[in-house]
Amino acid sequence: MKLLDFIIIKLTICLVTGILLARFFDIPLLFSAKVTGTLFTLLTLVYFISKPRLEKTIWFGVIAYITMTSLGVLISNIHNQKNHKNHYTNNSEFVQDSLLTVTLKVSNSLKPNKFNDRYVVNILKINQVPVEGLSLLNIRKDSLNPVFAVDDILIVKTKIHPIKAPLNPDQFNFKKFLENKYIYSQIYLPYEQVFISEKKRFTVYGYADAIRKHINTKLQSHNFKPDELAIINALLLGQRQGLSEDIYNDYKNAGSIHILAVSGLHVGIILLFLNFLFKPIEYIKHGRIYKIILIIICLWIFAVITGLSASVLRAALMFSFVAVAMNINRPRNTINILVASAFVLLMFNPNLLFDVGFQLSYLAVIAIVTIYPILYSFWHPKYWLADKFWQAFIVSIAAQFGVLPISIYYFHQVPGLFFLSNVIAIPFLGFILGFGIIVIILSTINLLPDFLSTSYGKIIELMNGFFKWIAKQETFLIQDIPFNIFQVIASYILIISVYQLYMKKSYKQVLYVFTAILIGQFVLITTKYSTETKEQFVVFHKGSSTLLGVHKGRKLQLQLRIIDTTEANSTMITNYTTSNYISDIQVDSLQTLYKIDTKWLLVVDSLGVYDIKSLNPKYVLLSNSPKLNLKRLIDSLQPQVIIADGSNYKSYMQRWEATCKKQKLLFHQTNKKGAFVIPLKAD
């Protein structure tokens, strides 16, 4: 079976190509609309010209694929809310970092951080002028005040701040993460400064949120522990906000975090349950049609209640197609169904393509569908129980072929015992989900016996304990693995070529495998060369202290005011060293002078001493808020760049920035512009 023989797969590839073009190139909305309209007109003409002849023409196919690619560009531009005239960033009333009267509607509740409760909000008005667009609302934590609900209308007087890009190299890009969700700003407020204008439910999301809150109120009356309640919410209601950091890390390090994200696994189990439950309907007239309708309605009710995340949308759409195929006895091609669901989802939200969960979910299912039958053909256990455990094991192995390269790229770790946790957990997940649905239904109608709630809580506790034990086996957790996007692409090329060789043994397929190996070797050689020749001097941004790094090849020397070897294990440095393939880290004390190639960098600390006129340093780093006359320093040393890191008072940096502006001198403030990186010349 050649996958590219299916039209939906070809069209989806073209759609994805268009979305990627819009991502990496600035293509105006009006231009893309004109091009797409012209191509559709041309496609229609070619179709009607070739139709009377009843013959296929290559031009129709070529124009169709180009049109679909152009459509991918167009829908990306249409969904980019900054292209809308009514978006708040295009409105004259919007002035960044200025005090504005803003009307907001709560769209979604997010997992809180240490300091704030967080919500995605839709900006409805600025100074009474109607606008649109999403923002991130941060409300200072206050246990005495209730959290907001979805669809609440809030009125605030506040500043709308831009979302900062990461301040250090190779940090997680929270700005890009939010932009993928069309969120371009954020608001910070204490609860007392928020006026709740309305508390009505008028969207599907609002009613779903109310249902979840009602279910939780009922469950809380049965004395579930916080961690147990958090797992129930994650497994059955699609809400992971209540998960503690410890529980989340236990599941992640055990390689089973996917269990806590409602996805294809959960929806597939629910489909099987519904198919069994509605079986008797088949015996009435048109029963199969009624059964399909009921199953699809139930699947989408579940999808809505769980929050319509990317993984749930994909699963609900795919299994809706599967439900139809199952009940009309048509042959099911899972790859076609999977790709069709991706096509529909990307038409409605093209940025899902860049969602990590979306990528992992599709890659896992594709790998299971294609590789699982091969692995299962190697051995068919005679006994039912052995067969089930063998199936669970090879499903986990098959999924890893799809997700391992991209998982290492994003998370830089491999949980070595993933197969053990999945083999034990997945066979029992159906029981846990089924039991949980019964618990929720009985609790909402006030008929849940205490022994059932206690039993279910104990099962959840045992499951948490099992994953905690797996996560503690740190010997099997491989962390901080460097892996770049080119290695990801090379890995998938190799996996696909080996799969094709297994399915169809020929000299041509052998040639493809050797080509894939050569591509992999080329990527490894170029990666090694680029990492070993990379040299730079970095002034990191670190609050309240100075941290410098001299990076040469695979070595990094950290310079601190007070020697602290634990600094090498900080998240900031770990991210940097992993991304740059650094294996040797040394920690030393901060110096006053650094020679960077033929130039000098002078560190001026709190003492304010800089009597080195003869050196004429190109760079001056101000550290620990030195009390000095910056104009006098500039006149004396004639530097080209003044750098102020995170160890300085903000008021001092504002004054220094104004001085440098008057002197027409470059001023680099790390808490605004991020780390200051000076490339070094290769020896």
Residue 384's pLDDT band (cuts 50, 70, 90): confident
Examine residue 361 and state whether it is found in any structural domain, yes or no.
yes
- Strands 555-560 and 547-552, sheet pairing: antiparallel
Examine residue 21 and state whether it is found in any structural domain, yes or no.
yes
Examine residue 304 and state whether it is found in any structural domain, yes or no.
yes
Taking the alpha carbons at both ends of the chain, their separation in whole angstroms is 54
- Strands 619-622 and 599-604, sheet pairing: parallel
Residue bearing tokens 């080329």 = 522
SS3 state at 411: helix
What are 67-85's pLDDT values in tens digits?
999 999 999 999 988 888 8
Q: CA-CA distances (angstroms) from residue 13 to 19, 36, 68, 72, 299?
A: 10, 17, 9, 10, 28
Q: Helix 204-220 and helix 226-237: axis angle, to 10°?
A: 150
- Please count the other Cβ atoms lying within 10 Å of the Cβ belonging to residue 651: 9
- Same-domain pairing of 284 and 316: yes
- Same-domain pairing of 237 and 162: no
Examine residue 478 and state whether it is found in any structural domain, yes or no.
no
Tokens of residue 136, six digits: 């991130």
CB 316 within 8 A of CB 303: yes
Whether the pLDDT of residue 21 is over 90: the answer is yes
Per-residue pLDDT, averaged over 415-444, amounts to: 80
Q: Which residue range forms the structural domain that includes residue 346?
A: 211-473
**Reported pTM:** 0.84
pLDDT of 568:
72
What are 319-347's pLDDT values in tens digits?
887 788 777 665 557 788 788 888 988 99
Residues whose CB falls within 8 Å of the CB of residue 504, separated by 6 or more in sequence, listed in order: none
- Same-domain pairing of 122 and 256: no
SS3 state at 506: coil
What are 246-267's pLDDT values in tens digits?
888 888 888 777 777 777 777 8
Residue 55's pLDDT band (cuts 50, 70, 90): low
| Number of domains the chain is built from | 5
The helix or strand, by DSSP H or E, that contains position 669, with its residue range, turns out to be: strand 666-669
- Please count the other Cβ atoms lying within 10 Å of the Cβ belonging to residue 677: 14
H helices of 180-309, in order, are: 204-220, 226-237, 245-253, 264-277, 287-305
What are 203-258's pLDDT values in tens digits?
888 888 888 888 888 888 888 888 888 888 888 888 887 888 888 888 888 877 77
Examine residue 132 and state whether it is found in any structural domain, yes or no.
yes
Tell me which amino acid residue 560 is. Answer: L
Instruction: Look at residues 79, 113, 135 and tell me which one is the last residue of a structural domain.
Output: 79
pLDDT of 332:
59
Q: How far apart are CA 336 and CA 315, in angstroms?
A: 14
224: DSSP letter: -
Examine residue 205 and state whether it is found in any structural domain, yes or no.
no
- Same-domain pairing of 565 and 520: no
Residue 541's pLDDT band (cuts 50, 70, 90): very high
Q: What is the 3-state secondary structure (H, E, C) of 52-108?
A: CCCCCCHHHHHHHHHHHHHHHHHHHHHHCHHHCCCEHHHCCCCCCCCEEEEEEEEEE
Whether the pLDDT of residue 286 is over 70: the answer is yes
Whether the pLDDT of residue 421 is over 80: the answer is no
> CA angle, corner 234, sides to 233 and 239, nearest 5?
75
Handedness of CA 63, 64, 68, 69 (dihedral sign): negative
- Same-domain pairing of 373 and 462: yes
Instruction: Look at residues 79, 100, 128 and tell me which one is the last residue of a structural domain.
Output: 79
- Same-domain pairing of 250 and 182: no
Per-residue pLDDT, averaged over 457-470, amounts to: 88
- Burial (CB count <10 Å: 0-12, 13-18, 19+), residue 89: middle
Instruction: Look at residues 27, 59, 79 and tell me which one is the last residue of a structural domain.
Output: 79
Per-residue pLDDT, averaged over 295-317, amounts to: 81
Q: How far apart are CA 19 and CA 1, in angstroms?
A: 27
Q: How far apart are CA 265 and CA 364, in angstroms?
A: 11
Most confident region among 108-112, 352-356, 395-399 by mean pLDDT: 352-356
Handedness of CA 581, 584, 587, 590 (dihedral sign): negative
Per-residue pLDDT, averaged over 389-406, amounts to: 86
- Same-domain pairing of 276 and 396: yes
- Same-domain pairing of 101 and 153: yes
pLDDT of 93:
81
Whether the pLDDT of residue 1 is over 50: the answer is no
- Same-domain pairing of 26 and 130: no
pLDDT of 69:
94
Output 388 or 405, whichever has higher pLDDT: 405
CB 587 within 8 A of CB 605: no
Examine residue 250 and state whether it is found in any structural domain, yes or no.
yes
Residue 613's pLDDT band (cuts 50, 70, 90): low
CB 269 within 8 A of CB 435: no
- Same-domain pairing of 524 and 542: no
Residues whose CB falls within 8 Å of the CB of residue 614, separated by 6 or more in sequence, listed in order: none
pLDDT of 155:
93
- Same-domain pairing of 72 and 178: no
Examine residue 206 and state whether it is found in any structural domain, yes or no.
no
Q: How far apart are CA 393 and CA 389, in angstroms?
A: 6
Q: What is the CATH number of the domain that holds 128?
A: 2.40.50
What are 32-52's pLDDT values in tens digits?
999 999 999 988 888 777 766
What are 516-540's pLDDT values in tens digits?
999 999 999 999 999 999 999 999 9
What are 617-646's pLDDT values in tens digits?
899 999 999 998 999 999 888 899 999 999
Per-residue pLDDT, averaged over 649-670, amounts to: 93
Beta bridge partners of 588: 559
Output 23 or 98, whichever has higher pLDDT: 23
Q: What is the mean pLDDT of the chain?
A: 86
- Same-domain pairing of 316 and 460: yes
Kindly report the backbone phi and psi dihedral angles of residue 556, in degrees, each rounded to the nearest multiple of 5, phi listed first: -135, 125
Residue 56's pLDDT band (cuts 50, 70, 90): low
